Amino acid sequence: MTRKLALVAGIGLALASVSYTPSASAQIAIGVNVGVPVAPPPPRVEVVPAARPGWVWMQGYWAWDPGVRRHVWVPGHWEHERRGWHWHEGVWVQAGDGWHFHKGYWGR
């Protein structure tokens, strides 16, 4: 009886190891840009610290927080300069289904 149980357990472990498939390392991200029903408030006036060579100031902006269903302020910050590139600030645009935020980006 013990030998039969050990044999069945061994076969079960062997079959389980054959059916194991490691998870794939590739990932897919899908984003849906749904309009925000409320216009963002006017931008806040930020006091920009003194200019820093080799750095670019990223202006703060209003971001929509769906958890609280309101805009929240994301403060500005410094980022390393990218020589030959220009920072384009993010902007809110009104469309048929509400307001959409286009993130800032580095462009030439």
DSSP code, position 45: P
- Return the number of other C-beta atoms located less than 10 Å from residue 98's C-beta: 13
For residues 69 and 67, give the distance between their C-alpha atoms in angstroms, rounded to a whole number.
Answer: 6
pLDDT, tens digit, 9 for 90 and up, residues 11-53 = 444 444 444 444 444 555 454 567 999 999 999 999 998 888 9
Is residue 107 helix, strand or coil? strand
Provide the whole-model pTM: 0.66
pLDDT of residue 1: 60
pLDDT of residue 98: 96
pLDDT of residue 82: 96
pLDDT of residue 49: 86
pLDDT of residue 54: 94
pLDDT, tens digit, 9 for 90 and up, residues 60-93 = 999 999 999 999 999 999 999 999 999 999 999 9
- Asked if residues 92 and 103 have their Cβ atoms less than 8 Å apart, the reply is no
* Residue partners of 90: CB distance under 8 A and separation at least 6: 61, 101, 102, 103, 104
More confident residue, 62 or 96: 62
